[in-house]
Structure 1
Amino acid sequence: MNVRYYKEYSYYLNRDMEFKVYGHSGQPILVFPCQNGRFYDFENFKMIDTVKDLIEDGKIQLFCCDSIDEESWSANHKDPRQRILSHEAWYNYIVHELVLRIFEINFEFDKNHFINGIFTTGCSMGASHAANFLFRNPDIFKATIALSGYYDSNLFFGDYCDDLVYNNAPVKYIDGMSYDHPYVDKYRHCKIILCCGQGAFEEPAIETTTRMRELLNFKDIPALIDLWGFDVNHDWNWWQIQFRYFLEKLL
Structure 2
Amino acid sequence: MREEHYKWYSPHLGRDFEMLVFGEEGYPLILFPTSMGRHYEHRERGLINALQWFVDQQLIKIYCPDSIDTHSWYNIHIPPAERALNHSRYDNLLRHEILERVSADTGVERIAVAGCSFGGYHAANFAFRYPERVSYLFSLSGIFDVKFRLDGHYDDNVYYHNPMDYMRDNPHEALWRMGIILSVAGSDVSRGQNEQMSGILTGKGISHWLDIRHNMSHTWASWQDLLPYYLSLIK
Instruction: Please indicate the TM-score interval, normalised by the length of the shorter structure.
Output: over 0.9
Residue 131 of structure 1 is matched in structure 2 by 124
TM-score by length of 1: 0.90
1:52-94 Cα distance to aligned partner (Å, 9 max, x none): 1110111100000001101111112320111111111111011
Matches within 5 A, 1:147-162: 147-162=140-155
For residues 207 and 26 of structure 1, the distance between their equivalents in structure 2, rounded to whole angstroms, comes to: 34
Name the count of aligned residue pairs. Answer: 235
* 2:233 alignment partner, SS class: helix
| 1:208 CA displacement | 0.9
Query: 1:119-151 CA deviation, whole Å, 9 max, x = no partner?
Result: 100101100000110000011122111101110
Equivalence for 1:122: 115
Q: What is the TM-score of this pair, normalised by structure 2?
A: 0.96
SS at match of 2:25: coil
Residue 219 in 1 paired to residue 212 in 2? no
Percent identity, aligned pairs only, is 31
1:100 CA drift (Å)? 1.4
Q: Which runs of 4+ in 1 moved over 3 A?
A: none
Where does residue 231 of structure 2 map in the other structure?
247
User: Aligned AA for 1:65?
Assistant: P
Instruction: Report the CA distance between 1:158 and its aligned residue.
Output: 4.3
- The answer as to whether partners of 2:103 and 2:109 remain within 8 angstroms in 1 is no
Alignment deviations for residues 27-50 of structure 1 (CA, whole Å, 9 cap, x no partner): 000011001000001111111111
2:180 matches 1:192: yes
1:142-170 per-residue CA deviation (whole Å, 9 max, x = no partner) reads 21111011101222124322111011111
Distance 2:151 2:143 in 1: 13
8 Å CA contact 1:30–1:62 kept in 2: the answer is yes
- Does the 8 Å contact 2:81/2:153 carry over to 1? no
Matched position secondary structure for 1:91 = helix
Q: Secondary structure at the match of 2:64?
A: strand
Q: What is the 5 A alignment of 1:18-97?
A: 18-97=18-97
Mapped to 2, the partners of 1:9 and 1:77 lie a distance apart of 24
SS in 1 for 2:5: strand
Distance in 2 (alpha carbons) for counterparts of 1:227 and 1:55: 27
Instruction: Look up the match of 2:221.
Output: 237
Instruction: Quote the Cα distance in structure 2 between the aligned partners of 1:222 and 1:70.
Output: 34
The amino acid of 2:178's aligned partner reads C
Match of 1:31, SS state, is strand
User: Are the aligned partners of 1:116 and 1:142 in contact in 2 as well (CA < 8 Å)?
Assistant: no
Q: How far did residue 232 of structure 1 move?
A: 2.1
Q: What 5-or-longer segments of structure 1 have no aligned partner?
A: 108-114
Aligned equivalents of 2:151, 2:59: Cα separation in 1? 41
Query: In the alignment, which residue of structure 2 is the partner of 1:111?
Result: none
Measure the CA separation in 2 of the matches of 1:236 and 1:215: 28
The Cα offsets for residues 184-217 of structure 1, whole Å up to 9 and x where unpaired, read as x211101111111023xx22x1111000111000
SS in 2 for 1:226: strand
Which residue number corresponds to residue 101 of structure 2?
A: 101
Instruction: Report SS of the residue matched to 2:95.
Output: helix
